[in-house]
Amino acid sequence: MRRLLLVTVVGLVFLNAYRVDAQGIDTERIVAMERAALDRWGKGDPQGYLEIMAPEVTYFDPDLEARLDGLPAMRALLVPLTGKIKIARYEMLKPSVQQHGNVALLTFNLLCYQNGDDGKERLVARWNSTEVYARLDGRWRIIHSHWSYIKPDVKQPAVGES
């Protein structure tokens, strides 16, 4: 009886740590990985992301002329930003995980806040975020990231305009 109780308690602790929902989706683990990387990013440390990106990673953000391919290209982009990013607080809105086999597609909107010189918090960026994770050799890794602004105030290109 005691042993059964112990097994049950250990089982519940385990289930709580790695809760998988009714569809077998590893939502909490994926969201926790993303939050851990974001926390480091907001403190100026891009290694949190680089450490969980797969060699095959592909990447879009609004400052690039085209898709970036592969981990060496990501390192070249992100390492120079070390110490340059400061996010006081962020809100991850409605994170959603769509899992199919060894792929978990995480999507969310993100609001980023900084503290102004006057000590007031201000919203500095609003993002659409797509993070595609794949389970490779048993570990979840990012194989694709797409970051874009919510409702940017755009001028589309005037190339070829008369």
- Residues lying near a second copy in the complex (CB under 8 A) are found at 56, 58, 60, 62-67, 69, 93-94, 96, 98, 100-103, 105, 107-109, 113, 116, 118, 120-126, 128, 130, 132, 134, 143-144, 146, 148-157, 159-162
Residue 28 φ then ψ, to 5°: -65, -40
Which CB atom, from 40 or from 60, has the smaller least distance to a second copy? 60
Which CB atom, from 2 or from 151, has the smaller least distance to a second copy? 151
**Nearest-approach distance from CB 143 to a second copy, in angstroms:** 6
| Nearby residues of 99 by Cβ (< 8 Å), 6 or more positions away | 23, 24, 25, 26, 105
**Nearest-approach distance from CB 43 to a second copy, in angstroms:** 20
β-bridge partners, 68: 59
**Nearest-approach distance from CB 136 to a second copy, in angstroms:** 8
Handedness of CA 133, 98, 64, 66 (dihedral sign): positive
Distance CA 82, CA 118 (A): 25
